[in-house]
Amino acid sequence: MAIIYNEDKKVFNIKSKNTSYALMVADTGHLIHLYWGRKLESNKLDYIFKKYGKGSFLADTDNIDNFSIELNTVEYPTYGHTDLRSPAIEIKLANGTTLTDFRYENHSIFRGKKELRGLPATYMENDIDGETLEITLVDKLAELRIVLSYTVFEEYDAITRSCRVINNSNNNVEILRVLSANVDFNSNEFDLIQLSGAWARERHMVRTPLRSGNQLIESRRGASSHDQNPFIALASHDANEEYGDVYGLNLIYSGNFLANVEVDMYNNSRAQIGINPFDFSWLLEPNEEFEAPEAVLVYSSNGLTGMSHIFHDLYRKRLCRGVYRDKERPILINNWEATYFNFNGEKIKSIAKDAADLGIELFVLDDGWFGHRNDDTQGLGDWFVNIDKLPHGISGLSKKIHDLGLKFGLWIEPEMVNKDSLFYQEHPHWTLETPQRKSCHGRNQYILDFSNPEVVEEIAEALCKIIDDSYISYIKWDMNRCMSEVYSSIHDHQSQGKVMHKYILGVYRLYTILTEKYPDILFESCASGGARFDPGMLYYAPQCWTSDDTDAIERLKIQYGTSLVYPLSSMGSHVSAIPNHQTFRNTPLETRANVAYFGTFGYELDVNQLTFEEKEIIKKQISFMKQYRSLFQFGTFYRLKSPFTSNETAWMVVSYDKTQAIVGYYRPLQEVNVGYRRLPLLGLDEDKMYHVNGLDLYGDELMNVGLIISDSSCGENKDGCGDYYSKLYILKEAE
Ligand code: DGJ
């Protein structure tokens, strides 16, 4: 049994392989958080909770002397009663008050996990994966209920949480805030880790000690965003990659989110994650329910690597779905940086022909194939082929590409429209626009109102037509602007606070239509690069274009940061041309591939322009990737040296049976007169002998003495000299 309930003590102990998460029902009916950390066998943890108060400014809860709930760790706090810290939920009642008071009503424990309606979520393949606890809290006066769900994935060592609000009253109420998870810690001895950045430099790791007050990250952009990822971790100050306590919270959601840690006056920390309450409100009518997205909670006592491994395994196996979940990903060529909008059928075929000769498996036709799109001012919304560019249509072109031995993939941006399009002429009021205000475009495009099911259905129909007529094995779904002037004409003025969330539900709806109708198509999500690299997207699309920045050196930070939560099999990574189109940097072809191997791998350059020598190198790269891609994409990933703290980056993947490993070592800038280096490895079998660098060394030597990186500074021969140096080390169990 993974979830133990002690009836006598009213204590729940939710246990996974190595973790316990415990809570209890106080005699006042409050749900009290007791513990989250290393596994505890005891189910008598009620002593952790003390009705405690202070002769201070605080009010006494329920007028019980010396009991102030604000001094306790509360499981799902409301605002206004006597806990005045950040609430998890706030609801405006018909009488205008915002005070709610939820107390325990009942609970149930069952094997397996329920689906979340219309929302992406982790799933179980069968009930063996774990158990679910549902606790119902009730506000008797307001006749409202909250159902808190906790699912434990025992072997994956993760807990997922969600929350449902039910209006059992006869009145409309307005949900102003409904977070998916709240965890109170009675300590502030943590660093906060977040993944922050901007377009073309997404998910850089930022680590800062907690300070007093609220420290929050959020998105208000309509997408989970480039600037912040819906992830935070609290790590003990001494936690590093291998050691120390780390508590990770990640939201399975692709829209506006909030992740907050409040350190209160008693140095307790309250960590929260959920839909951003900013500009959100949800009118809930009698008998209606609202379901909040799922949050994933991961604790590791084995540092950041331990946390990452739990996220990687859970997401690879119990969030991603479809035939590609466990399949090696095709090596693709994408024509975007090769041609931008400037192509025709002949050019595409010529790229595909050379790509096929190199051993590439999938051709992806990016933006510019539809409507009369010759630049970014036109065509979005017109999901039919541009006959001037591609006279044989997508069906003819995809057939031709298939005949060359390649699969064919197509770029779409279904949520957007250009005013210069037939679609806009037909549906000028299907965009999000605030009455009497100017609507601002982003990249000349406007946002279709995906909160309107009719819009979603119409776009689905147009896309299905194209897909049905052609040989399409892959779709790249892009989204290239943040949301402004948000207002939907199909909702009345009281329901405008729903629009941002309903929009994302519309996106999920279209993904559901397409993934159910075309189960064999591989979807890759994208939003101006990585503005929606979140677990919500991974449920539909098992890979995501990590960043528009294809520069290998910039990618070190981006891929390193992304790997904190997301597995390599989810990271779109391409070798592109030099000078790089974002940084104008010239990195060696070898380094570009050595970075891109640690992802889904592909090329994004004009192969027609390559020299004979470059083509020969690329052929070798492709056959190398084919040989090792299952190790790269499904092995266990370790970070060895951080690009955020030094001029060196190193990481490695190890096969599950620990018989093979590949180490990637990168040194962006040449240094002068530096010492001789060793790089201690991780994750090997200490008793196995590995062949590497011409030597046979035991795992314990490689992990303690380290791999000799002697060629990382200029020696007598000039091997390994120069900027942007990189090298892969292949380890194989010795015979
Ligand atoms: C942004 C994407 O991130 C790029 O890869 C490319 O698809 C362009 N959009 C096309 O407009």
- Judged on CB neighbours under 10 Å (0-12, 13-18, 19+), 207 is middle
Residue to substitute in 334, 343, 364, 367 for testing ligand 1 pocket (most ligand atoms within 8 angstroms of CB): 367
Ligand 1 center to 359 CA (angstroms)? 24
In angstroms, what CA-CA distances link 420 with 343, 432, 482? 20, 16, 20
With H, G, I as helix, E, B as strand and everything else as coil, classify residue 732. Answer: strand
- 688: DSSP letter: S
**Which residue among 374, 545, 550, 576 has the greatest number of ligand 1 atoms within 8 angstroms of its CB, and so is best to mutate?**
545
**Closest residue CA from atom 2 of ligand 1:** 528
Compute the distance between CA of residue 595 and CA of residue 122 in angstroms, rounded to an integer: 29
| CA 526 to ligand 1: nearest atom | 3
Given this model, what pLDDT does residue 421 score? Answer: 98
- The candidate with the shortest Cα–Cα distance to 246, out of 132, 157, 114, is 157
**From the CB of 548, is ligand 1 less than 6 Å away?**
yes
Distance 415 CA to ligand 1 centre (A): 14
Give the residue, by CA position, lying nearest to ligand 1 atom 9. Answer: 528
Instruction: Please classify residue 176 by burial: count the beta carbons closer than 10 Å to its beta carbon, then call 0-12 exposed, 13-18 middle and 19+ buried.
Output: middle
Distance 556 CA to ligand 1 centre (A): 20
Q: 193 near 207, Cβ under 8 Å? A: yes
411 CA closest ligand 1 atom index = 7
Instruction: Tell me how far the alpha carbon of residue 337 lies from the centroid of ligand 1, in angstroms.
Output: 9
Which atom of ligand 1 is closest in space to residue 527's alpha carbon? 3
From the list 276, 279, 307, the residue with the least C-alpha distance to 292 is 276
In 10 A of CB 627, how many CB atoms?
Answer: 10
Instruction: Look at strands 31-38 and 660-667 and give their pairing.
Output: unpaired
Cβ neighbors of 654 (< 8 A, separation 6 or more) are: 635, 636, 638, 660, 661, 682, 683, 684
- Residues carrying an active site annotation: 478, 548
């246990």: which residue's tokens?
Answer: 15
CA–CA dist 416, 420 (Å, integer): 12
Task: Determine if the peptide bond prior to 680 is cis (ω within 30°).
Answer: no
529 in contact with ligand 1, CB cutoff 6 A = yes
Which residues share a beta bridge with 446? 417
Contact indicator for 315, 567 with CB cutoff of 8 Å: yes
Token look-up 């991603």 returns: 320
Ligand 1: nearest atom to the Cα of 443: 11
| SS3 call for 502 | helix
Residue 710 has phi, psi (to 5 degrees) of -65, -25
Residue 712 DSSP symbol: G
CA of residue 565 to ligand 1 center, whole Å: 24
Q: What is the CA radius of gyration of the chain?
A: 27
What's the CA-to-centroid distance between 535 and ligand 1, angstroms? 20
Return the closest-CA partner of residue 373 out of 335, 339, 342, 414: 342
335 lines ligand 1 (CB under 6 A): no
H/E stretch holding 461:
helix 453-469
Please give the structure tokens belonging to residue 66: 């010396």
Asked if 196 and 228 touch (Cβ cutoff 8 Å), the reply is yes
Between the CA of 309 and the centroid of ligand 1 the distance, in Å, is: 30
Distance CA 42, CA 33 (A): 15
Beta carbon of 478 within 6 Å of any ligand 1 atom: yes
Q: In what helix (H) or strand (E) does residue 290 lie, and over which residues does it extend? A: strand 289-291
Q: What is the DSSP letter of 62?
A: G
**SS3 of 602, please?**
strand
For atom 6 of ligand 1, the residue with the nearest CA is: 336
* 550 CA → ligand 1 middle, Å: 12
179: left (phi over 0), alpha (psi -120 to 50) or beta: beta
* Ligand 1 atom 1 nearest Cα: 528
Which of 333, 365, 412, 548 for a ligand 1 pocket mutation test, highest count of atoms within 8 Å of Cβ? 548
Q: Ligand 1 pocket check: which of 335, 377, 477, 478 to mutate, most ligand atoms within 8 Å of Cβ?
A: 478
Atom in ligand 1 nearest the alpha carbon of residue 376 = 11
Of the candidates 119, 109, 110, the one whose C-alpha atom is nearest the C-alpha of residue 163 is 119
Residue 478 CA to ligand 1 center (angstroms) comes to: 7
Going by alpha carbons, the residue nearest to atom 11 of ligand 1 is 367
Beta carbons of 619 and 611 less than 8 angstroms apart = no
| Rounded Cα distance, 189 and 247, in Å | 12
* Pocket of ligand 1 contains residue 524 by CB under 6 Å: no
Q: Which tokens sit at 191?
A: 């660093």
pLDDT for res 184: 98
Kindly give the distance from the C-alpha atom of residue 3 to the centroid of ligand 1, in angstroms, as a whole number. 46
Beta-strand ranges (E) seen in 629-710 are 636-641, 649-654, 660-667, 678-679, 689-692, 695-698, 707-708
| Whether the CB of 367 sits within 6 Å of ligand 1 | yes
Ligand 1 center to residue 374 CA distance, Å? 14
CA-wise closest residue to 565 among 311, 340, 332: 311
Asked if residue 477 has its Cβ within 6 Å of ligand 1, the reply is: no
DSSP string, 362-394: EEEE-S-SBTT-SSTTB-TT--SB-TTT-TTHH
To which residue do tokens 């060394």 refer? 697
- Residue at 195: amino acid letter: L
Task: Kindly give the number of the ligand 1 atom that is closest to the alpha carbon of 548.
Answer: 3
What pLDDT sits at residue 126? 83
Q: 294 near 160, Cβ under 8 Å? A: yes
Amino acid at 271: A
The alpha carbon of 257 is separated from its chain's Cα centroid by a whole number of angstroms, namely: 12
Q: Is the beta carbon of 156 within 6 A of some atom in ligand 1?
A: no
Q: Is the CB of 336 under 6 A from ligand 1?
A: yes
* Average confidence (pLDDT) per 10 residues, the chain, 735 residues: 95 98 98 98 94 82 93 94 95 96 98 97 93 98 98 98 98 98 98 98 98 98 98 98 98 98 96 98 98 98 98 98 98 98 98 98 98 97 97 98 98 98 98 96 97 98 97 98 97 96 98 98 98 98 98 98 98 98 97 98 98 98 98 98 96 98 96 86 98 96 92 56 93 94
Q: b/e for 556-592, b at 16 or more Cβ within 10 A?
A: bbbbbbbbbbbbbbbbbbbbbbbebbbbeeebbbbbb
DSSP-derived 3-state class of residue 720: coil
With a 6 Å cutoff on the Cβ, whether 104 touches ligand 1 is: no
Substitution candidate for ligand 1 out of 332, 334, 336 with most atoms within 8 A of CB? 336
Q: In sequence order, what are the residues at sequence separation of 6 or more whose Cβ sits closer than 8 angstroms to the Cβ of residue 242? A: 302, 303, 305, 306, 682
Cα gap 443→439, rounded to integer Å: 13
The secondary structure element, H or E, covering residue 560 is helix 552-562
